[in-house]
Amino acid sequence: MLLIRLAVRNAFRHRLRSFLTILGVMVAILAFGLLRTVIDAWYAGVEASSANRLVTRSSVSLMFSLPMAYKDKIRAVPGVTQVCQGNWFGGIYIDEKNFFANFAYEPQTLLDLYPEYVIDDPAQRSDFLRDRKGCLVGVKLAKRFGWKVGDNITLRGTIFPGDWVMTVRAIYRGARSGTDESQLFFHWAYLDETMRVNYPSRAGQVGFYMVGINDPNKAAEISRAVDAQFANSLAETLTETEKAFQMSFVSMSEAIILAIRLVSFVVVLIILAVSANTMAMSARERTGEYAVLKTLGFSARTVALLIASEALVISLTGAGLGLLLILPCAEAFGTLMTDFFPVFAVSRETIIYGVVAGVAVGILSGIYPAMYAARVRIAVALRKVG
Amino acid sequence: MAIPLSYSWRNLLTRRATTILTAGGMALVVFVFTATLMLAEGLRQTLVSTGSPDNVVVMRKSSETEVQSTLERQVAQVAATQPQVAVDVQGRLLAARELVILISLAKRSSGAASNVVIRGIGPASLELRPQVKLVAGRMPEPGSTEIMVGQSVLSKFAGVALGQTLTFGQREWAVVGVFDAGNTGFASEIWGDADQLMQAFRRQSYSVVVAKLKSYDDFDAYRADIESDPRLQAEVKRERQYYEDQSKALSRFLRVLGISLTAIFSIGAMLGAMITMYSAVATRIGEIGTMRALGFKRRAILAAFLAESLLLGFLGGATGLFFSAFLSFMSFSTTNFQTFAELAFKFTLTGEIAMWAMGFALFMGVSGGLLPALRASRLNIVEALRSG
């Protein structure tokens, strides 16, 4: 008890320095937490994917389409419950800066396959299913542009030429916190019919199929069965779980993710340098005191423990403050970056890692001064006038 | 009279451990700062040097990238035969109808699939891109299923070495050549015959027409001819402009990321410098009193302590720059958000970046040292002497 009180007193004896060190640790833990949350946000699509869904796409690359005729063949594979055809539409709303994800899907199977998109009003749901020029938007996206049910919006096609007019028929919210609420879905039939008129050669083409399966354990088997049907055909397919599919997007920017990861560790190194510095200075200044403590009969171990706990007090105070600030900061940052990261939430692991980092910094920065004080010879230390 | 610089320098030497820790923290900040600037610069240089000033790109209206664009044969024909298009020594028009598609290949390092651009080229393509040179093997024969690969593709992807074959579009494509495209985006591409690729992928249309104009000033006339023709539904950009636009999203992202990271970091490093300098002042109060008593002015004391923290910043900056200079030997490869294709570029260190980094390090030193130095200079002589 006495030791702890002494450590706390010591930690705050040099008030300005302790304040600065705590501030440093706080900023670093905050940065560490935010960086980890950025990485989590990157993987949001992977986390949100369901084990009950497979994605079938062209084996050459995602930019090649598959014939519409594949739908029934996939549907006939044992274990498949639902098939929904979809296209990445890539439309632009007014200006390129307003980027958001927009897809053309077959609406009924879309809603069946994605129970996490919840439409609270049954009237909206049936309106969306009925209106071929209707679209379904996420609640976050609707808020961003101030859309209400019944509004007309126009997307400029980049992959599918022309101006595409559609009506907001329904607004969904996510069933879980990780669900992306900033997407737009409209009827695949609208896309296909328009293409049939303007660019007949591009009609009847599907970007990818979302495949619902009854047993996640058979995902690999069903994937192989689907791909086997189209082997050696003009458009060979590649079927994988939704998770693997989402992962392939994440791995495209793996170099950047790796860089952010590295940087988040560098932050911890910097705090370590700052707080080790503080502890080294304290230890040097108080060499005389340690000698007195030793003369009074305190063992070397106790003296070392005293210094180590002083370092812990400082770094844990800083880490605690940093962790307290993470949630409000993440929220502010998330609203700022909502275009880049639709889902931005601090995970429990991040908090745990933050605590671990705080403890680790405290221990590591205390070790050297503690050893120094434990080893210092009383006579030498007392002779030093300081 | 000024206090000699060696005084400040020796003080740093005496507190060696503290100096190393503080300067080390700053060096890490400078390293990250420089690395992000180098990346953004490398990306810019790569994409800007990919485009030639005299070349123009014709794409379908409102498509943002070559990959999204489609040009029907007649449209491509019109675009390639305008009067402004330059002619080579043999009297052929310097315009190429090209096909640009993405295929996914496995990366050498991780085995993960990533998108690579396959460019179907025409007879004039090579002459339009003087920066592209064959370094091994031979050119693909026109009309055959042969391809050549850029050097970045060769080093980053598996199964694309000379003599190997790739299978896509239900055909086997033999790799017969490797080309060097210097520090440009073409180095991340695979080139083959446009007509063969169109057949293999059952495409009826080209992606873009690239043409060299007779003179730089012909651009406006050429653009007016193409864009005002309602049958074409095409738009024209200078090639250099086109590639610059391609880099916008990624380079903006890199810059925002880099600046926010270093902003947070530098707070940590400045705090470190401040702690160090406050303690330097605190342990030398008696010394400061003595110097004042000897007749050194307040200004001289201020200057000496500022010099000390500037030196600290300089040490950190120099160390950080030294290590980031090694990054120039490395290249960075990531997916460009706009094209969805893999793009390799180098960390590029320029004099300007080095100056910014050093300026930043000195700034960290000064802002960490200013308050402690002010405190030192304001000490009362008598009290300082008594406490020392």
DSSP string, B255-291: HHHHHHHHHHHHHHHHHHHHHHHHHHHHHTHHHHHHH
A42 forms bridges with which residues in the sheet?
none
Asked whether residue B388 carries a pLDDT value surpassing 60, the answer given is: no
Asked whether residue A271 carries a pLDDT value surpassing 80, the answer given is: no
Q: Is the dihedral of CA B69, B75, B80, B85 positive or negative?
A: negative
For residue B336, give Cα distances in angstroms to B212, B332, B340.
26, 12, 5
Can you give the pLDDT at residue A303?
A: 85
**Interface touch B261/A157, C-beta < 8 Å:** no
What contacts B22, CB < 8 A, 6 or more positions away?
Answer: A273, A277, B272, B273, B275, B276, B312, B316
Q: Taking residues A332-343, what's their average pLDDT?
A: 78
**B245 three-class SS:** helix
CA atoms of B273 and B19, how far apart (whole Å): 9
B24 with B336: CB under 8 angstroms? no
For residue B299, count CB atoms less than 10 angstroms from its CB and return exposed for 0-12, middle for 13-18, buried for 19 or more: exposed
What contacts A322, CB < 8 A, 6 or more positions away?
Answer: A25, A26, A27, A28, A29, A30, A32, A33, A354, A358
Q: Is B387 left (phi over 0), alpha (psi -120 to 50) or beta?
A: alpha
* Å between B277 CA and nearest CA of chain A: 10
Can you give the pLDDT at residue A297?
A: 86
Q: Taking residues B36-55, what's their average pLDDT?
A: 87
For residue B114, give Cα distances in angstroms to A7, A28, B26, B220.
55, 34, 36, 38
**A325 three-class SS:** helix
Tally the residues of chain B.
388
Name chain B contacts of A159, Cβ cutoff 8 Å: 63, 68
- pLDDT tens, residue by residue, A35-72: 899 888 888 888 888 889 999 998 887 878 899 999 99
The segment with the largest mean pLDDT, out of A156-170, A365-379, B30-44, is A156-170
pTM of the complete model: 0.79
Q: How confident is the model at residue A386 (pLDDT cuts 50, 70, 90)?
A: very low
Measured at the alpha carbon of residue A36, what is the angle toward residues A33 and A42, in degrees to the nearest 5? 145
CA atoms within 13 A on the CB side of B162: 12
Q: How confident is the model at residue A385 (pLDDT cuts 50, 70, 90)?
A: low
* A163, closest residue in chain B (CA to CA): B62
* A365, closest residue in chain B (CA to CA): B21
- pLDDT tens, residue by residue, B378-387: 888 888 888 7
Query: With pLDDT > 70 as the criterion, what percentage of chain B qualifies?
Result: 99
Structure tokens at B138: 């031979």
**Interface touch A161/B62, C-beta < 8 Å:** yes
Query: With pLDDT > 70 as the criterion, what percentage of chain A qualifies?
Result: 99
Measured at the alpha carbon of residue B266, what is the angle toward residues B264 and B270, in degrees to the nearest 5? 130
Name chain B contacts of A96, Cβ cutoff 8 Å: 64
Asked whether residue B146 carries a pLDDT value surpassing 50, the answer given is: yes
For residue B12, give Cα distances in angstroms to A135, B4, B16, B304.
67, 14, 6, 12
Residue whose pair of structure tokens reads 């391609």 in the numeric block: B246
**Interface touch B334/A63, C-beta < 8 Å:** no
Q: Taking residues A166-185, what's their average pLDDT?
A: 92
Name chain B contacts of A252, Cβ cutoff 8 Å: 114-115, 334-335, 340, 342
CA atoms of B340 and B7, how far apart (whole Å): 57
Q: Which of A256, A274, A285 sits opposite B272 (nearest CB)?
A: A274
- How many interchain CB pairs under 8 A, A with B? 136
A64 with A296: CB under 8 angstroms? no
Q: How confident is the model at residue B107 (pLDDT cuts 50, 70, 90)?
A: confident
* B60, closest residue in chain A (CA to CA): A161
Name chain A contacts of B267, Cβ cutoff 8 Å: 24, 27
* B257, closest residue in chain A (CA to CA): A260
Looking only at the bridges linking them, the beta strands covering A80-88 and A237-241 are unpaired
**Interface touch B264/A269, C-beta < 8 Å:** no
Q: Taking residues A217-245, what's their average pLDDT?
A: 90
Tally the residues of chain A.
386
Cβ burial A130-165 (10 Å sphere, 16+ → b, else e)? ebeebbbbbebbbebeebebeeebebbbbbbbeebe
Query: With pLDDT > 90 as the criterion, what percentage of chain A qualifies?
Result: 44
Selected residue with higher pLDDT from B388 and B298: B298
Helix H or strand E segment including A179: none
Asked whether residue A379 carries a pLDDT value surpassing 70, the answer given is: yes
A174 forms bridges with which residues in the sheet?
A117
Q: Which of A62, A271, A281 sits opposite B18 (nearest CB)?
A: A281
How far is Cα of residue A312 from the mean position of the Cα atoms in its chain? 30
Name chain B contacts of A62, Cβ cutoff 8 Å: 102, 104, 115
Give me chain A's average pLDDT, please: 88
Asked whether residue A384 carries a pLDDT value surpassing 70, the answer given is: no
**Interface touch B272/A96, C-beta < 8 Å:** no
Cβ burial B104-116 (10 Å sphere, 16+ → b, else e)? bbebeeeeebbbb
Q: Which of B21, B103, B257 sits opposite A276 (nearest CB)?
A: B21
For residue A2, count CB atoms less than 10 angstroms from its CB and return exposed for 0-12, middle for 13-18, buried for 19 or more: exposed
**Interface touch A234/B202, C-beta < 8 Å:** yes
Q: Taking residues A101-121, what's their average pLDDT?
A: 94
Query: Would you call A94 an interface residue with chain B, using a CB distance cutoff of 8 Å?
Result: no
Closest CA to B120 of B224, B201, B230, B12: B201
* B103, closest residue in chain A (CA to CA): A61
Query: Would you call A24 an interface residue with chain B, using a CB distance cutoff of 8 Å?
Result: yes
Name chain A contacts of B29, Cβ cutoff 8 Å: 270
Q: Which of B60, B112, B283 sits opposite A251 (nearest CB)?
A: B112
Q: Which of B18, B28, B114 sits opposite A277 (nearest CB)?
A: B18
Share of chain A residues as helix, strand and coil, in percent rounded to the nearest 5 = 60, 15, 25
Asked whether residue B232 carries a pLDDT value surpassing 90, the answer given is: no
What contacts A162, CB < 8 A, 6 or more positions away?
Answer: A156, A194, A198
For residue B94, give Cα distances in angstroms to A289, B86, B212.
85, 6, 6
B148 with B139: CB under 8 angstroms? yes
**Interface touch B334/A255, C-beta < 8 Å:** yes
Name chain B contacts of A30, Cβ cutoff 8 Å: 264
Q: Taking residues A144-168, what's their average pLDDT?
A: 93
